[in-house]
Amino acid sequence: MAEFKEVCKQWRRMCAHGSEDYACADCKMYSSIDESVCRGIPDEDEAKVIESFVMSWAAEHPEPVYPTWEQYFNRIRINNGCKPLLTDAELLKVVCTPIQADIAQKLEIEPK
């Protein structure tokens, strides 16, 4: 059985997938299982069905993984042939930190 936190996280992703207003009518689980499952407190059997459905969806729709800042800066250096944007000391502060999704989108960085 998957961790409760992980199921909830993936369920939120699934609800938001393809719909900014979390439209239940567009949801495969809402339409294929039973709409009352999404709106109420599921019993033990329903919880297993929900978990299976959500985790199957999550496996088919993996979360994007963005490069670290170091990987991004190195790619810029190679692609643009320019001087480093940061000193080595500054780069060390951010090297292993993954780029946040909203920043990556603004910089037009694709997930790995």
CA distances (Å), origin 59, targets 33, 63, 68: 19, 9, 23
DSSP states along 34-63? -HHHHHS---HHHHHHHHHHHHHHHHHSPP
pLDDT of residue 59: 92
Phi and psi torsions of 75, nearest 5° = -65, -40
pLDDT of residue 81: 61
Smallest CA-to-CA distance from 99 within 86, 109, 84, 90 is with 109
pLDDT reading at 6 higher than 60: yes
Chain-centroid distance of CA 64 in Å reads: 5
For 45-99, the pLDDT digits (tens) are 878 888 888 899 899 989 888 888 778 777 777 666 666 666 667 666 666 677 8
Segment holding 5, helix H or strand E = helix 4-16
* Distance of alpha carbon 70 from alpha carbon 109, whole angstroms: 13
